[in-house]
Amino acid sequence: MMQNTINNLGKEMSLCEAGTSLIEMILVVLLLSITILSLLKLFGDLSLVSVGPDYRMTGNQLAQELMEEVKSRRFDEKGAKTADGNWSTTLGPDPGESTSGTRSTLDDVDDYNGFSESLSSPYSGFSRSVSVSYVNAGDLNTPLTIPQNVPNNWTPEYKRVVVTVTQGGVQRAQLVTVVGSAKSRNTIY
């Protein structure tokens, strides 16, 4: 009888040990699955992040190219303020100037206001746009609204230019500069 009890106890331990090992295997497989899925997500995220710097560098180059073009133009269509003491009171292309096809007719900084273009190969998917606004010397970051009835001697001596480059709906670069008239260059220092 004692022998049977010992044999039965031995069988119970074998079944118990086999069950524990099965539970352990299930837990190991479960933990490995979670770990592998986490690693796959991590590698996927890293591959997306590693492409970002290339797009930013290309975006900066495209923004810089257009910004240099804008800065190479004269301050205003008019060579000097008019008799009422104002520069151009509308920003954007002047009559006879166009941004469609070529920008060769744009001859002053504010002609680029509202300009945008989608680039072709090798920069497919990239687009860039320009915004130009008047600003005061005391606050070069806040664009001024041109009044409907422009008072005499209203228009400031500074224009703020913002060039933005996007790719796939994501902003990749933005450059901002302030361009001054000849008068402002003499008084700003």
For 21-40, how does the pLDDT look when each residue is reduced to its tens digit (9 = 90+)? 888 888 889 999 999 888 88
Which residues of the chain, if any, have pLDDT below 70?
Answer: 1-20, 45-53, 101, 183-189
Beta strands in the chain (DSSP E): 116-118, 126-135, 158-167, 170-180
Does residue 183 fall inside a structural domain?
A: yes
- Structural domains counted in the chain: 1
DSSP 143: P
pLDDT at 68: 96
pLDDT at 188: 44
pLDDT at 1: 54
Does residue 2 fall inside a structural domain?
A: no
Does residue 37 fall inside a structural domain?
A: no
CA dist 89 and 148 (Å) reads: 9
Does residue 182 fall inside a structural domain?
A: yes
- pTM equals 0.70
pLDDT at 3: 57
Does residue 44 fall inside a structural domain?
A: no
Does residue 32 fall inside a structural domain?
A: no
For the chain, helix, strand, coil in percent to 5 are 40, 20, 40
Q: What's the one-letter identity of residue 4?
A: N
Does residue 169 fall inside a structural domain?
A: yes
CA dist 172 and 164 (Å) reads: 8
Does residue 174 fall inside a structural domain?
A: yes
Range of the domain at 126: 49-187
